Chains A and B, each alone.
Chain A
Amino acid sequence: MTQSHRLPDGGRVDRSAPLRFTFDGVAYTGLRGDTLASALLANGVLHVAPSLYRRRPRGIATAGAEEPNALVQVDGPCSEPMLLATTIELYEGLSAAGLAGLGRLDPTPDQAVHDKMHIHTDVLVVGAGPAGLAAALAAGRCGARVVLVDDQPELGGSLLAGRESIDGRPALDWVAEARTELAAQVDTRILTRSTAIGYHDHNYLLVAERRTDHLGPQPVPGISRQRLWHIRARRVVLATGAHERPMVFAGNDLPGVMSAAAVRAYLNRYAVLPGRRPVVLTTNDHAYATALDLVAAGAQVAALVDTRPEPPADLVNSARGAGIEVHTGSAVVGTRGHDRVSAVRIAELDADDVISGPVREVACDLLAVSGGWSPAVHLWSQSQGTTRYDDDLAAFVPAQAAQNVVSVGAALGVLDLAGCLGGGFAAGVEAADLAGFPSTAPSVPPTSVDRPPARPRPVWLVPGETGDPSEWSDHFVDLQRDATVADVQRAIRAGMRSVEHIKRYTTIGTAHDQGKASGVSATGVIARLLGARSPGEVGTTTYRGPYVPVSFALLAGRERGALFDPVRTTAIHPWHVEHGAVFENVGQWKRPWYYPRPGESTAAAVERECRAAREGVAVMDASTLGKIDVIGPDAGEFLNRVYTNAFAKLAVNSARYGVMCRADGMVLDDGVTLRLAADHYIMTTTTGNAAGVLDWLEEWLQTEWPELRVRFTSVTEQWATVAVVGPRSREVIAALAPDLDVSNDAFPFMTARETRLASGVAARICRISFSGELAFEINVAGWYGLATWESVIRAGGPLGITPYGTETMHVLRAEKGYPIIGQDTDGTVTPQDLGMEWVVSQRKPFIGKRSFRRADTARGDRRQLVGVLPADPAVLLPEGAQLVADAEASVPTRALGHVTSSYRSAALGRTFALALVAGGRERLGETVYAPLPDGVIAATITDPVLYDPKGTRRDG
């Protein structure tokens, strides 16, 4: 097809680079430099898709990120939904389809790379229009580090869309010179195609850079598709410009109703004539330039309608001089047309915005509307800066800054070019000065727009020709949400007064565009319907990031798949993989869960592993247990204060189980601590809690007891730990450590021995048991972990040594009633609740001790750890199941407690569970019930120690 609406010359498009594309299955041609929207308009295509709820035809309404209508889905290896035709740069072969408000998520994995960069800068300038460029130039000349961010492919901002001049030459010549100068500054970085999406605390901004989207949908080798910049700036200059507001009148949603500034951009930047017989409707000076540019481009401007009774005479004269009929003190009160505007209805308004004269109908194919200018205060507001309503500008403008930031140019409500340049220069110099680079501002060159615009006359709600606001259901306030004046009126009649409530009731401002262009118009309508004097009395809704929608892929960056979270593996991990272990995640650790034989079920594997540990010998990789060196002359005193039991007098080469509590008396962690020397202990912690415990120790040492001479070092990775468990474990240790007397008398329970293994590796062997069986832990330097594990497997081979995982470890410990902190406890459990009065010293002070006398901590009906045996020994209680006293009780009823651990036990020949039950130790023998979706499970409360309660197996 020919580009029927392409102007013969001009624009920022490359006529030597035609690009083929398809939209909704139809083939077209555009030019390099086009957006999808400008290429469609060049081909006379205005309509994009029907609206989401009312299925009304909707067309391209703007030329930028504020676009409410032109949502498309772009095809590719992984199709992208919810993109804007107005911000997609055209490329060869682009294929897209219009969306009625909802995209389709493509389930194909996206192969494109997204990444992140973190940088610091003295000055961050957001927006490369005249004000932003001036600020960046001035700051850069001072020697400050500058980052200049702009969402367009080329610098210039609003100057790209106009025909202004600076210093007697086309403004874009000045832009080109600025770009050359900035590029030559070594400490200035220019990020184009980059949108500042978030302004966070302490001048921390997120910027989304589109690096290859303009090249096509295929991933480009070696270049990330998009990059998320994390920028920390000493000073931020916001030159984010302003959005032109739509106006609210009957039929304002017809395709062909378009922002006047967008029409000007399509004319001058893209060399596209969106309509041949346009009408221009305005509340302010700005749209006169659009009308004159339309005439210059060959359009027949059918009328210029200005709401102001007396617009500036020179503007009116220049329009009339160009042959345009100007209607002052008037507005468009309705449109005609089916899928495109074919005529507008024009009427005079009196001072109260009431229709006061006859309605005239004027044929047209485009209505260019300027409802006024709203400074883009989104980032400013995200930075917690306040705004105020300016009656002269009829806009919300930045007021009080909350961070080290300043707004300039149109973002501040400055709408003349000279004011933008002057404000930009001053802000750039000031920013550099604050960053330690003092200088003076450059002088402002003369420009073609040196005069601020005359006062606008906003007409927030153009009345319908008939009826009242409750009937104005074709006066659209939010196009994407299909929300109208009638909807707002209904919200107000329902009692809403706050703009935040009305927003939620009507969904105004909640679509992809977040009401960028229409938000202040909506406030104006609300103010009008509430009878407020101005929108300032109503206020705006909260501006939240991101400023434009971004993909989750961008936010995730490289943190996907294997790089999502660091994976910790032990020195012995390769053996586990090679021998078919099934792994479970414990924090970031990969731990063998169990080692199934071919065809073996989980339950069968765990039963086999448990049997080996109880009847023969089994081996587990315990390297993930947290290990902390506690070193210094006051190490014993320190441990006495953090553990509930005493460690200061522990003999060298002896070990002791300890529990630590928070100050409120609740159990924080537990583990075995071994004394290696008078001033050296090694503490073990729960696998998932090692970092937290180290933080806890540091906190008390540094903030409460800095006089204690003790230091902590995490040595978890430095040691590999192999647990050899079972009645025949002593034989394995004897074979491995020929120099060691492994007899019970020479090497008793809870002691440690330093020895050299047969392999020559130095080892520390401890007699520690987490299963109730005779057991040894071999600790070697991490380097020797794998070789030592393999030597254990070899030495135990003749005895049928069996590797086991965390599931078996859990069953074995639960059979003995040993709790796991974090599974059987939840931060509300005391040592006494666990039945561990024996671990709580009565003779020394320690953290949490005072809390045991608090009434709540001392009461007898606290939830206590007990064993629970289902009446049917084959039934497994689900962990987390609530327990009640009465099987027939109607819900809701008060739970006695809940199941914390539940397993099948080979040793017991039945299922069993641990539970926290109110006053549990007084309920031994009682029946409780677990009401579950599939029925009620009855169970009996028992002592938690179900296996070998007398501890006869510990010494083999």
Chain B
Amino acid sequence: MLLIACPWCGERDELEFHYGGQAHVAYPADPEGLSDAEWGEYLFVRDNPKGPFAERWSHAAGCRRWFNVVRHTVTHQILASQSNHPVAAGQPKPVIA
């Protein structure tokens, strides 16, 4: 079982997390402007490297935050863990009116 460092909660057992697949695959800004092939690429095609892999995890049984991890797919060594949330990134907290 992996030991994953949540940027908000620290190191926790893998079973507290849900896997979210490859990181940095943004939802296309204009899906309607894409060809079928381009849209199919977004839907179905992901990298599968042997080595470092940037992927998303959600601390589902903890703080519920999504964050990114760089994991070596052979050794499972976790090389980096970071939040993409503005608060964790030092940006101002969003205001709820």
Contacts and interface: CB of A to CB of B under 8 A. Distances in A.
A709 B94 contact: yes
A699 B19 CA distance: 11
B3 A849 contact: no
Interface string A79-111: 000000000000000000000000000000000
Interface string A595-635: 00000000000000000000000000000000000011100
A44 interface: no
Contacts of A631: 96
A731 to B, nearest CB: 43
Contacts of B75: 384, 402-403
Interface string B6-30: 0000000100001010000011000
A845 interface: yes
A103 to B, nearest CB: 31
A706 interface: yes
B58 A232 contact: no
Interface in A676-727: 679, 695, 698-699, 702-704, 706-707, 709, 711
Contact of A850 (B34, B60, B97): B34
Contacts of A202: 1-3, 76
B96 A706 contact: no
Contact of A854 (B27, B40, B84, B95): B40
A170 B64 CA distance: 58
Contacts of A851: 39, 43
A232 B3 contact: yes
Given A706-B86, A709-B96, A201 B76 contact: yes
Given A201-B2, A845-B31, A850 B39 contact: yes
B1 A850 contact: no
A664 interface: yes
A853 interface: yes
A204 interface: yes
Given A202-B2, A699-B20, A709-B96, A853 B84 contact: no
A849 B84 contact: no
Contacts of B34: 850
A663 interface: yes
Given A711-B96, A845-B31, A695 B60 contact: yes
Nearest to A203: B3
Scoring A695, A704, A849 by chain B CB atoms within 10 A of each residue's CB, the highest score goes to A695
Nearest to A698: B64
B53 interface: no
Nearest to A694: B64
A855 interface: yes
A200 interface: yes
B97 A679 contact: yes
A507 to B, nearest CB: 31
A698 B85 CA distance: 12
Interface in A830-867: 845, 849-851, 853-855
Contact of A702 (B1, B32, B66, B96): B66
B36 interface: yes
Given A703-B56, A706-B86, A854 B66 contact: no
Nearest to B86: A706
A453 B76 CA distance: 39
A695 B13 CA distance: 19
A430 B20 CA distance: 37
Contacts of A704: 26-27
A762 B15 CA distance: 40
Scoring A632, A845, A850, A855 by chain B CB atoms within 10 A of each residue's CB, the highest score goes to A850
A854 B85 CA distance: 33
Interface residues of B, number: 32
Given A204-B3, A703-B56, A632 B86 contact: no
A505 B97 CA distance: 70
Interface string B63-97: 01110000000011000000011100000001111
A632 B96 contact: yes
Scoring A384, A632, A698, A702 by chain B CB atoms within 10 A of each residue's CB, the highest score goes to A702
A397 B86 CA distance: 50
Contacts of B84: 702-703, 706
A845 B31 CA distance: 9
Given A384-B75, A850-B31, A850-B32, A698 B3 contact: no
A853 B36 CA distance: 8
A606 to B, nearest CB: 37
A369 B71 CA distance: 48
A51 B35 CA distance: 68
Contacts of B32: 845, 849-850
A403 B39 CA distance: 40
Nearest to A855: B36
Contact of B43 (A203, A633, A663, A699): A663
Contacts of B13: 232
Interface string B27-61: 10001101010011011100000000000101010
Contacts of A632: 96-97
A676 to B, nearest CB: 16
A202 B65 CA distance: 22
A201 B58 contact: no
A384 B64 CA distance: 32
A633 B1 CA distance: 40
Interface in A438-457: none
A849 B66 contact: no
A232 B94 CA distance: 37
A679 B97 CA distance: 9
Interface of A: 200-204, 232, 384, 402-403, 631-633, 663-664, 679, 695, 698-699, 702-704, 706-707, 709, 711, 845, 849-851, 853-855
Interface of B: 1-3, 13, 18, 20, 26-27, 31-32, 34, 36, 39-40, 42-44, 56, 58, 60, 64-66, 75-76, 84-86, 94-97
Closest 6 CB pairs of A and B: A850-B31, A202-B3, A702-B66, A201-B76, A204-B1, A704-B27
Given A232-B13, A709-B97, 6 more contacts: A200-B1, A204-B1, A633-B96, A699-B20, A699-B66, A849-B31
29 contacts: A201-B76, A202-B3, A384-B75, A663-B27, A663-B42, A663-B43, A664-B43, A664-B44, A679-B97, A695-B58, A695-B60, A698-B66, A699-B20, A699-B58, A699-B66, A702-B66, A703-B20, A703-B84, A706-B85, A706-B86, A707-B94, A709-B95, A709-B97, A845-B31, A845-B32, A849-B31, A849-B32, A850-B34, A850-B39
